[in-house]
Structure 1
Amino acid sequence: MQKILLPIATLALFSQAAPLLAYSPAGEDIDYSVNDEAFEGYFVSASEAAQATVLIVHDWDGLDDYERQRADMLADEGYDVFAVDLYGAGNRPQEVEDKQAATRSLYEDRERMRTLTLGGLAQAREQGAAEKTIIMGYCFGGAVALEIARSGEASDIAAYSSFHGGLTTPEGQAYSADTAPIFIAHGGADSSVSLDDVATLADELETAGIDYEVGIYSGAPHAFSVFGSDAYHERADQRSWATFTDWLEEVL
């Protein structure tokens, strides 16, 4: 899926009519390692004292300017933000088959998935990011965020969020009652993740007694928040982002 990148001012207004200009990141790319493997994340700090840190997990494309722009938007909201890299420095698959292979390797090795995600969180804290953390992700990254939520392996996690992400709980896993609040943004017309999956997850979270919120946006397909893509759905993007940022203010 091709991504068309918009300037930060445009993102703030969510205007598709504005011209496509060069994107200039507000933060910086960060080279780091996890178990002697090289990765490249992206860090941007809040302009003033941060409310918390947001760890962003990328979609199946790998970390690119879409996640960087979302990170910059969250920094404007008062958060330190680290966009983690789960694929490795220089590994940004372009073909569908390569993207499928990259995600499949991590779905099949969830211990590695968790290790690399938490390795990115450790790097964020090395950069001076606030200890209290929100873990969120897009598509594949949303599934990763929920994987961390179920594992309970991370400390100081204040909330989790998935935007049009995978919602299925693997066999043998479950959510515990002390899991931090979860926000799910889902497209009503998503043909990749079904409404049955949403209902099943809600039932799991309800049964576990977890504080959660699910936003379902009519007519929105899978990957509805990706600016400029064929899947982009402006109303769903605007409403889900506004709800998410308001929700963060409440849970923090």
Structure 2
Amino acid sequence: MKTITTALSAATFALSLTSTQVIADMQTETVEYTVNGDTFTGYIAWDDDVEAKRPGVLVVHEWWGHNEFARGQAEKLAKAGYTAFALDMYGSGKVADHPDDAKQFMQEATSDIDNIKSRFMAAMELLQNHDSVDGDRIAAQGYCFGGAVVLNMARLGVDLDGVVSYHGALGSSIKAEAGKVNARVQVYTGGADQMVPSDQVADLVREMQDAEVDLTLVSFPGVLHSFTNPEADRIGKEFGMPVGYDNAAAKRSWDGTLRFYNEIFAE
């Protein structure tokens, strides 16, 4: 097994390729890597039939952890012509089936913003160094918890071309500052999302406007939290949570994301 070790300013990580699969022309790899002594499991997908280097997109999971939904989003991006890395923010094996566990994992991860940034930057460097990727063209998209993560990375000035938040929390103790945010920002939220109320939406628009950030925000009327995840209806019924899948919103947000990437990576 080949191991690659790279030094980072905020973290060190070792990468091991644990398995490789071929789906038509799409290649996928499950990888284990370490950040500050902790082990994480990620998933890379790309189209091996394309010879040219292409942009890379980081995929940050929901509060459930690095699961099949996150991997599926990476595969969709690979089919669209990108190399995608579904990263892991919690640590290997920390995937929740119950909201209580998801809440605990999320609180542990978000207790230290430096830890969050270190984990994100390690994954970003791993993606940038992939043979198929143009390391100067990187974006990130996140869902729920992951949506908040990518917004905070933009606020912190991480060198990303763009970030996309799907039904992510919009409020943060970190605030965007004029001249600091490098990424263009796109946000998709549900108009009936009880976890992301309208005051959060208004505050984000004001924050980004004051910081002179290029923001596109789409609010889908009557749409609940987790609208991109087909499992949301089952989860809502099982745990009594105000979440629900919406096929139209999921499709519109995905199509809008691909148009967004076409724009930012063509610049």
> Where on the TM-score scale, by shorter chain, does this alignment land: which range?
0.7 to 0.9
Match of 2:250 in 1: 237
Answer 1 or 2: higher relative contact order, Cα 8 Å, separation at least 6.
1
How far apart in 2 are the matches of 1:32 and 1:100?
Answer: 24
**Residue ranges of structure 2 left out of the alignment (5+ in a row):** 1-22, 234-243
CA contact (8 A) 2:57 2:138 kept: yes
CA distance in structure 1 between the aligned counterparts of 2:27 and 2:221, rounded to whole angstroms: 33
C-alpha contact 2:94 2:105 (8 A) present in aligned 1: no
Paired position in structure 2 for 1:135: 140
**Residues 227/185 of structure 1: CA separation in 2 closer, same or farther (3 Å cut):** same
- 1:177 corresponds in structure 2 to 179
Q: Which residue in 2 is equivalent to 1:226? A: 229
CA distance, structure 1, for counterparts of residue 104 and residue 255 of structure 2? 33
> How much does 1:50 deviate?
4.5
Structure 2 counterpart of 1:63, one-letter code: H
Alignment of 1:29-178 (within 5 A): 29-47=30-48, 48=50, 49-128=52-131, 129-131=133-135, 132-152=137-157, 154-155=158-159, 157-170=160-173, 173-178=175-180
Unaligned segments of structure 1, at least 5 residues: 1-23
> Are 2:195 and 2:225, in contact at CA under 8 Å, matched by a contact in 1?
yes
Mean Cα deviation higher: 217-226 or 106-115: 106-115
Deviation, structure 1 residue 26: 5.0
3-state DSSP of counterpart to 1:52: strand
Q: Are the aligned partners of 2:30 and 2:42 in contact in 1 as well (CA < 8 Å)?
A: yes
Give the direction of change, closer, same or farther, for the CA distance of 1:243–1:104 in structure 2 (3 Å limit): same
Count of residue correspondences: 226
1:7 aligns with none
SS of corresponding position for 2:161: strand
DSSP-derived class of the 2:30 partner: strand
1:176 CA displacement = 3.4
Shift in Å at residue 169 of structure 1? 2.4
**Distance in 1 of aligned mates of 2:218 and 2:172:** 19
Alpha-carbon contact 1:178-1:210 (below 8 Å) kept: no
Question: Hey, what's the Cα distance between the residues in 2 that align with 1:115 and 1:175?
Answer: 21
| TM-score for both structures, normalised by structure 2 | 0.80
Q: 1:203 to 1:50 in 2, by over 3 A?
A: farther
CA contact (8 A) 1:26 1:72 kept: no
Q: Which residue of 2 aligns with 1:201?
A: 204
SS at match of 1:82: strand
**TM-score for the superposition, normalised by structure 1:** 0.85
Residue 123 (structure 1) shift: 1.8
Q: Report the 3-state secondary structure (helix = DSSP H, G, I; strand = E; otherwise coil) of the residue aligned with 1:136.
A: strand
Letter in 2 for 1:174: A
Give deviations 1:53-81, integer Å, cap 9, x for gaps: 10011111111110111111111111110
SS of the aligned residue for 1:86 comes to coil
Q: Aligned to 2:232, what secondary structure does the other structure show?
A: coil
Name the counterpart of 1:14: none
CA distance in 2, matches of 1:241, 1:195: 22
